[in-house]
A and B are shown apart, each in its own frame.
Chain A
Amino acid sequence: MAQPRQTPAPPVPRWLLWAASVVILAHLLAVGAHALAAQSGPWPTPFGISNAEPPKAAELADKHAAKPYLSALRMPQDYHFASNQPVFPGITFEVRLKDERGEVLKTLKFPDEKANGWVRHRQALLARNLGNDQPVAPRQGGVVLPAPGQELPKHLIWDPLDPNQPPRPGQMLKLVERDDNELISIQMKQPMGSVYRPSEWELLVARAIARRMCREHGAAKAQVIRHAQNPITPAALILPDPNMAYAPELLSDFGDFPR
Chain B
Amino acid sequence: MSKPRGNLSKSEAVRDRLPPAGQPAAPDAPPPAFHEGPLTRLGQAWSRFWFRPADPVGLHAVRMLAGTLFLCWLLAYAGHVQELFGLNGWFDAEAYAEAHRLAAQERAAGESAVPQAGWSLLFAVGHSPAALTAVYWLSVVVVALFTLGLWARLTGVLTWLVVGSFTVNPALGSDADALLIVLAFYLMVGYLFLGQWRRGRRLPYRIFGSTEALLLGRRDDGAGPPPSMAANAALRLLQVHFAIILVTTGLHKLQFGEWWGGLALWFPLYPPLETTLEQAREHAGNASLFLALLSIATYAVLAWEIGFPAFAWRRGWWRLVLIGGALIGWLGASLLYRVPGFGPALLIGCLSYLTDDEWRAVTGLLPRLPGLSALARWLPAVPDEEPVKVGSR
Contact = CB atoms under 8 A, between A and B. Distances in A.
Interface stretch (B151-159, B279-287, B314-322): B279-287
B272 A115 contact: no
Nearest to A80: B252
Task: Pick the most buried of B94, B248, B258, B271: most chain A CB atoms within 10 A of its CB.
Answer: B248
Interface residues of A, number: 88
B223 A7 contact: no
A74 B119 contact: yes
Contacts of A205: 91, 95, 171
Contact of A4 (B18, B233, B253): B18
B358 interface: no
Interface string B243-271: 01100110011011011000110111011
B94 A208 contact: yes
Interface stretch (B57-65, B134-142, B178-186, B369-377): B178-186
Interface residues on B, range: 35 or more
A33 B182 CA distance: 16
B92 interface: yes
Contacts of B381: 2
Interface string A6-18: 1111111010011
A194 interface: no
B272 A229 contact: yes
Interface stretch (A121-129, A144-152, A179-187): A121-129
Main SS at interface, chain B? loop
Contact of A119 (B50, B77, B175): B77
Contacts of B113: 199, 201
Interface string A29-50: 0011001001011010000000
B223 A236 contact: no
Contacts of B198: 6-7, 9
Interface stretch (B333-341, B349-357, B359-367): B333-341
Contacts, number: 254
A211 B252 contact: no
Contacts of A81: 175, 178, 249, 252
B263 A234 contact: yes
A234 B83 CA distance: 38
7 contacts: A7-B200, A79-B248, A201-B115, A208-B91, A211-B95, A229-B273, A232-B275
Interface of A: 1-12, 14, 17-18, 20-21, 24, 27-28, 31-32, 35, 38, 40-41, 43, 71-92, 115-119, 121-122, 124-126, 129, 199-201, 204-205, 207-209, 211-212, 215-216, 227-234, 236-238, 242-243, 245-246, 249
Interface of B: 1, 5, 16-20, 23-25, 32-34, 46-47, 50-51, 73, 76-77, 80, 83-84, 88-92, 94-95, 98-99, 102, 113-116, 118-119, 160, 163-164, 167-168, 171-175, 177-178, 181-182, 185, 197-200, 221-224, 226, 229, 233, 237, 240-241, 244-245, 248-249, 252-253, 255-256, 258-259, 263-264, 266-268, 270-275, 277, 280-281, 283-284, 287, 290-291, 294, 337-341, 381
